[in-house]
């Protein structure tokens, strides 16, 4: 074959693309119905964003002829966190009647993030916000989008101007900020916004969380050693996270513990609605949920969401029905051998010795044979010092129609005690009023966030 020979491709958009949807032939009539056209266009945008915009990636693999999944969709882990500061705006013009005082705010977003808003400032054409926001970054070539809005009659938002700037360009600006022109719908300059940014690099390790917890405990009259010595309640085993990581068989949570967990999650969901945007993050938790089992009594897997939460910080992802076990962990022949030996009552360590595999891989294959759902996308939590004050647990919840139907917890100390900052376990979520439980196999990686030095 002629060079170059491609054996694999990774396809994705760095930033959400602008798609121009046109209808031809017999569908031209749709052009006359703006509401229908907008609905179709929005649906197309949503699908493209969900599978082809970072962190979502389409992988095409021609190299392995035995691989029946030539095309697969994956999501990539974050590479950084960007802290964006919106300083002020100038040259604003009111969008409403001159008798109505302006009330302007600025919306900022990165990639597929839902976007965050500054507070609204009234009675001035030069608002000074000086507010910061933090976003997860999946590629340093991503862009930061800004939009300045005014509040019209009835609280309706009116767009004054918008624009995008390269993340690297904003990071390279000095502390006073970069002046970015905002363009109206006709492409004319409507105003200018001053913004700056700092890049935070994630470093695998628990030292940042331990440092802030130690400082907080010292302030309350205790020593850092006291904080970390009371790590576990009775009956809970430490799990190391290295190559010899061991899993433990857990007891189902009691009904009283389930009631407390469900109550805590419901209260925190209400608090989250009043929470401000995150800033001053010191750590990042990355959750990868490999799969689990949802009893039929708690609903269908097609409507299942899995949520992770620490206090007011939370992240949710949709589950999907589990596929048949693939051969990404061990080859297909070994998967069948593990299942056969497990059915005959052999323990995971004995199977691992017999097949020359790791205990972790064997346990993974045994557990995944009983899955009926999986969560394809990773979950990310940015943590501030106040989020971990008092050592709150990490809650894991199963949601149906936005409401928790089962809940469990991981003590924060268990994450801190995982030697390599990687914690993996099967967590059991209790359902209120019944004995059925949801099992979730997950891995949590803890990263400290270190500010990158600005370019010279």
Radius of gyration of the chain (CA): 25
At 3, the pLDDT band (50, 70, 90 cuts) reads low
Distance CA(79)–CA(138), nearest Å, equals 5
At 248, the pLDDT band (50, 70, 90 cuts) reads very low
Mean pLDDT of the 348-361 span:
83
**Exposed (0-12), middle (13-18) or buried (19+): which is 160, by Cβ within 10 Å?**
buried
Distance CA(324)–CA(282), nearest Å, equals 39
The pLDDT of residue 241 is above 70? no
Distance CA(380)–CA(12), nearest Å, equals 20
The pLDDT of residue 326 is above 60? no
Q: What is the 3-state secondary structure (H, E, C) of 318-361?
A: ECEECCCCCCCCCCHHHHHHHHHHHHCCCCHHHHHHHHCCCHHH
Mean pLDDT of the residues in the chain: 81
How high is the pLDDT of residue 231?
27
Least confident span in 58-62, 256-260, 332-336, 430-434:
332-336
pTM: 0.81
Instruction: Give the residue among 327, 296, 334, 309 at the shortest CA–CA distance from 404.
Output: 309
The DSSP element (H or E) to which 265 belongs, if any, is helix 255-272
CA end-to-end distance (rounded Å), the chain = 47
Strands of the 71-75 sheet, one edge to the other: 8-11, 56-61, 71-75
How high is the pLDDT of residue 242?
35
The pLDDT of residue 133 is above 60? yes
Whether a cis peptide bond, with omega within 30° of 0, leads into 297 is no
How high is the pLDDT of residue 239?
29
Question: Measured between alpha carbons, how far is residue 182 from residues 177, 186, 402 in Å?
Answer: 15, 11, 37
Distance CA(347)–CA(370), nearest Å, equals 16
């Amino acid at each position: 074959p002629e060079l170059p020979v491609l054996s694999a491709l990774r396809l994705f958009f760095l930033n959400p693309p602008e798609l121009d949807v046109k209808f031809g032939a017999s569908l031209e009539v749709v052009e006359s119905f703006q509401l229908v056209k907008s609905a179709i266009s929005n649906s197309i945008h949503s699908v493209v964003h969900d599978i082809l915009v970072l962190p979502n990636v389409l992988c095409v693999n021609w190299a392995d002829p035995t691989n029946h999944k030539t095309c697969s969709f994956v999501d990539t882990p974050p590479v950084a966190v960007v802290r964006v500061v919106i300083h002020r705006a100038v040259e604003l013009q009111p969008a409403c009647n001159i008798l109505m005082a302006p009330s302007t705010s600025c919306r900022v977003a990165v990639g597929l993030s839902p976007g965050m808003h500054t507070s609204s400032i009234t009675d001035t054409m030069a608002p000074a916000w000086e507010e910061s926001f933090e976003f997860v970054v999946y590629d340093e070539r991503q862009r930061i989008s800004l939009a300045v809005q005014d509040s019209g009659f009835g609280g309706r938002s009116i767009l004054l101007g918008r624009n995008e700037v390269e993340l690297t360009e904003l990071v390279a600006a000095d502390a006073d900020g970069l002046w970015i022109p905002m363009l109206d719908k006709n492409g004319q300059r409507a105003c200018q916004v001053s913004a700056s940014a700092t890049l935070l690099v994630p470093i695998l390790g628990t030292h940042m969380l331990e440092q802030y917890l130690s400082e907080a405990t010292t302030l309350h009259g205790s020593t850092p050693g006291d904080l970390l010595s009371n790590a576990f309640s009775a009956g809970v085993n430490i799990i190391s996270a290295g190559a010899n990581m061991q899993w433990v068989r857990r007891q189902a949570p009691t009904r009283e513990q389930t009631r407390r967990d469900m109550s805590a999650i419901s209260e925190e969901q209400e608090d989250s609605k009043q929470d401000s945007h995150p800033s001053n993050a010191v750590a990042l938790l990355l959750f990868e949920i490999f799969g689990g089992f949802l009893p039929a009594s708690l609903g269908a897997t097609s409507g299942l969401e899995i949520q992770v939460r620490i206090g007011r910080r939370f992240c949710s992802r949709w589950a999907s029905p589990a596929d048949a076990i693939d051969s990404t962990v061990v080859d297909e022949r070994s998967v069948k051998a593990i299942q056969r030996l497990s059915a005959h009552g052999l323990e995971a360590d004995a199977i691992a010795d017999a097949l020359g595999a790791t205990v972790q891989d064997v346990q993974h294959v045994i557990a995944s044979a009983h899955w009926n759902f999986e969560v394809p996308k990773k979950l990310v939590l940015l943590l501030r010092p106040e989020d971990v004050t008092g050592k709150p647990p990490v809650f894991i919840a199963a949601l149906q129609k936005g409401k928790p139907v089962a809940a469990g917890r991981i003590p924060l100390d268990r994450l801190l005690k995982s030697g390599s900052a990687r914690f993996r376990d099967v967590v059991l979520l209790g359902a209120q009023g019944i004995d059925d439980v949801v099992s979730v196999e997950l891995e949590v990686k803890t990263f400290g966030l270190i500010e990158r030095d600005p370019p010279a």
